[in-house]
Chain A
Amino acid sequence: MRKKSDIPFALPAIIVVALMTQIPFLLTIVYSTLRWNLARPDLPIKFVGLDNYLFFLNIPHFPAVPEFYSIVWQTILITGLSLVLCTVTGFLVSILLDNKVPGVNFARTLMLGPFFVMSTASGVIWKTTVFNTTFGWYGVIFKALGMTPVDLVSYHPLFVIIFLFWWQWMPFFVLVILAGLQGIPVELNDSMRIDGTNWLQSTFLVKLPLITNHMQVAIMLGLVFIIKEFGLILVTTAGGPGTRSYTLPYAVYMQVFNASNVGRAGALATITVLLVLITVNVLYRSLKKRGEAVA
């Protein structure tokens, strides 16, 4: 009886949440079934079923793989490598900053700096003042050493993007992991010292298992943040050369704002959401399993 009467009270909240979160997504799915090009208002908007999805998923000249699959692979590569780098270095830097030495608070503040710089601003700064082979530090230093600098943005776009993602997001990992490390009781540190554990043992066999939950949070949030990162790509490589540093969100942006193709953008956005949901789910389960095993 009581359960029944609860529903009307929860209903407004459920409706608001459903409207706020699900309507845009449902609309995207509807759009993805339409042939709708904003640049051609003279052509009718018509229902085309799954044509827009097939446009991306179809492999007409096998074994030549269409652009879409390269973009999916690039998205996985960029997100995956950035996550691994952020997690490993974030953990090591956190260990370093967990020591009580003079100036550690200052060092922590400096470390967090990149996280608070807008991604578009940091992208422009890195591209023009560092990576530029004529005016940037990189170019100047290489030339001073008698070497010819390679244009990294054009020839190694993935390296540039992954490096910048790492630079931008590693502090976030430090923030979360450091919070975990500082939650480890002082007594435990004392007993480790008394028991004579060395650095490797204390770090990887004691501290790491104790902060698994924090690591999980950092990785999950990091995945969601990094996979949708867009501004950095736009201002540094603009997805180029060609589409070599496109990610799925960037491809969606280009479909809407460059091609004005609402239908195809809708299909691409839906595919992106599905892939992200699946990845997050798989990652969450595996981390949870690992967490339980450690506990």
Chain B
Amino acid sequence: MKRVFVFGALLALVLAGSQVFADVTINIALANNPISQALSKLAADNYKAAGVTVNIAVLPENDLRQKLTTEASTGGTTYDMFFIGPYEASNWAKNGWLEDLEPYFKALPAKTLAWYDRADLIQGMVGSVSLKGDAYAIPFYGESSFIMYNKALFAAKGLKMPDQPTWDQIYDLAKKINDPAKGIVGMTMRGAPGWGMSGAPFVTIVNAFGGRFYDMNWKATVDTPEQRAAWKMYKNILRDAGQKDILSYTYNECIALMQSGKCGIYYDATSIAPPLESAGSLVKGKVGYAMPPHEKMTTNTAWLWNWSMGINPKSSDDKKKAVFDFMLWATSKDFIKMTVDTDPTGSSTPPASRSSTYKLAAYKNAPYAAMTLKTLQSTDFTHPTLQPVPYTGLQYIAIPEFADMGTQMTQWLADYVVDKITLDEAITKTNDLFNQVAKDDGYQK
């Protein structure tokens, strides 16, 4: 009996103690890429807020998307901060799955507002995650897409990369560089299926070839000569001059391959250039940059994306405040300066979020800075295709169903690339699916 009493007293003490020292723990999941990894590390070492514990998980991009979408749509509270892009932001803000950030900014003291300098955030990026003028997320970093190439391999074969290449030229160059006997890969691109994975380069290829996914009446237009040419180009590059394990390659594998100096051309996000120029990279100082390839469509053939931070509206008020505070810290000029101080190569620094970043010495002189800015300026996500379309979005279609449709399309693309199905089958399946979604969910009138 005495033991029970002592145990009870101890338990009561522990419970009371936990009440007195009640901490706020916020859970955050980030997409696995070099800049997010840097944030995760810097936050663990440098972010201090009284009574706040920050748990950061870094997840593969596809997993992160699935987890957060389920979380938001079912009102879950596992994660208090949503790490999302414009595709999610535009749909989620409408559905009430993101907290409006304006009241939080209004509640900030003038001194903090001045320190944060909201006007310094790149407005195009802020606009892509806002609804009716209210910010629902803050851009952490942004990206467009361009061509990166290994100048040493090009010089060795006496080849020259045009400033504004076409996809046909890229294919020819990739084939000339490709040399399996020496372990040299002509060109690498994301091959792992997923709308935000292989879907990103692939959809910009479709746009460049003059293809579109729907006409103005939401009738699927996947079975067109333009689309077929784009599907073939993606396959031919990867099969004739690409990495062997095509379908295992996310951008992380592509980066590793390019960094090893054994790859000629790499088409991917502008935010991938800094890791190529970082200390551990064997191609540091040897990478050339060119505009995103075009074909029938001569401009606006890149993609536009940003990774932004929003608040889970279902979290408790204490947690929301803690998350907002963390978001301000992670998107502040101080944070950007800290990343440059700890890693002068700029490979940990979030690009395209603040104008002031481009005034920093590390950025002004970086070999990719000028081309990044030029590519960003060339994009217009409201007019993604040669012919008019009822949707917006450059590497995606900004409707909630695209996460699934896009993923299925890239699965069939993968099937086609490794000869499991024919082009006809892949195109028919995709066209049928796109038509069905448009019918089922009330887009086709």
A residues with a Cβ closer than 8 A to B are 37-43, 127, 132-134, 148-149, 151, 153-155, 238-244, 254, 256-261
Asked if B46 is at the interface (CB within 8 A of a chain A CB), the reply is no
A242 → B minimal CB distance (Å): 3
| Across-interface contacts of B411 in A (CB, < 8 A) | 239-243
Do residues A257 and B247 form an inter-chain contact, with CB atoms below 8 A?
Answer: no
- 28 pairs of residues in contact across A and B, judged by CB atoms under 8 Å: A37-B401, A37-B441, A38-B74, A39-B403, A39-B404, A40-B400, A41-B96, A132-B248, A134-B257, A148-B180, A151-B248, A154-B414, A154-B418, A238-B62, A238-B193, A240-B247, A240-B415, A241-B415, A241-B417, A242-B414, A242-B415, A244-B420, A257-B66, A257-B67, A257-B70, A258-B403, A260-B69, A260-B70
Residue of B nearest to A149 (CB): B244
A193 → B minimal CB distance (Å): 53
Do residues A155 and B418 form an inter-chain contact, with CB atoms below 8 A?
Answer: yes
Annotate B383-414 by CB proximity to A: 1 below 8 A, 0 otherwise: 00000000000000000110110010001101
| Across-interface contacts of A254 in B (CB, < 8 A) | 407
Cα A240 to Cα B94 with chains together (Å): 33
A38 → B minimal CB distance (Å): 4
- Most chain B beta-carbon contacts within 10 A, residue among A243, A256, A260: A260
Cα A134 to Cα B254 with chains together (Å): 12
| With A151-B244, A240-B193, A242-B411: A256-B441 Cβ-Cβ less than 8 Å | no
Asked if B109 is at the interface (CB within 8 A of a chain A CB), the reply is no
Cα A260 to Cα B27 with chains together (Å): 23
Do residues A133 and B244 form an inter-chain contact, with CB atoms below 8 A?
Answer: yes
Which range contains the number of B residues in contact with the other chain? 35 or more
Do residues A134 and B70 form an inter-chain contact, with CB atoms below 8 A?
Answer: no
Do residues A154 and B248 form an inter-chain contact, with CB atoms below 8 A?
Answer: yes
Cross-chain contact of A43 among B193, B248, B421, B442 (Cβ < 8 A): B442
| With A40-B441, A240-B411: A154-B245 Cβ-Cβ less than 8 Å | yes
Cross-chain contact of B73 among A38, A149, A155, A242 (Cβ < 8 A): A38
Residue of A nearest to B243 (CB): A134
User: Known contacts A39-B403, A41-B95, A258-B404; can you find 6 more A-B pairs with CB under 8 A?
Assistant: A151-B247, A240-B415, A241-B414, A241-B420, A244-B415, A260-B403
Do residues A260 and B245 form an inter-chain contact, with CB atoms below 8 A?
Answer: no
Q: Which of B171-222 contact A (CB under 8 A)?
A: 180, 192-193
| Across-interface contacts of A244 in B (CB, < 8 A) | 415, 420
Do residues B247 and A153 form an inter-chain contact, with CB atoms below 8 A?
Answer: yes
Asked if B91 is at the interface (CB within 8 A of a chain A CB), the reply is yes
Annotate B235-269 by CB proximity to A: 1 below 8 A, 0 otherwise: 00000000111111000000001000000000000
| Across-interface contacts of A259 in B (CB, < 8 A) | 403-404
Residue of B nearest to A39 (CB): B400
| Across-interface contacts of A134 in B (CB, < 8 A) | 243-245, 257
A237 → B minimal CB distance (Å): 8
Cα A239 to Cα B404 with chains together (Å): 14
Cross-chain contact of B245 among A41, A132, A242, A261 (Cβ < 8 A): A132
| Across-interface contacts of A38 in B (CB, < 8 A) | 69-70, 73-74
Cα A160 to Cα B222 with chains together (Å): 33
| Across-interface contacts of B421 in A (CB, < 8 A) | 242
Residue of A nearest to B416 (CB): A242
| Across-interface contacts of A133 in B (CB, < 8 A) | 244-245
Q: Which of B52-73 contact A (CB under 8 A)?
A: 62, 66-67, 69-70, 73
| Across-interface contacts of B69 in A (CB, < 8 A) | 38-39, 257, 260
| With A127-B248, A133-B245, A242-B411: A39-B91 Cβ-Cβ less than 8 Å | yes
Do residues A241 and B73 form an inter-chain contact, with CB atoms below 8 A?
Answer: no
| With A39-B73, A39-B401, A153-B248: A258-B66 Cβ-Cβ less than 8 Å | yes
Residue of A nearest to B436 (CB): A55
Residue of A nearest to B406 (CB): A258
| Across-interface contacts of B70 in A (CB, < 8 A) | 38, 256-257, 260
B196 → A minimal CB distance (Å): 12
- Most chain A beta-carbon contacts within 10 A, residue among B243, B417, B420: B420
| With A242-B414, A244-B415, A244-B420: A40-B401 Cβ-Cβ less than 8 Å | yes
Cα A238 to Cα B193 with chains together (Å): 9
Cα A258 to Cα B401 with chains together (Å): 10
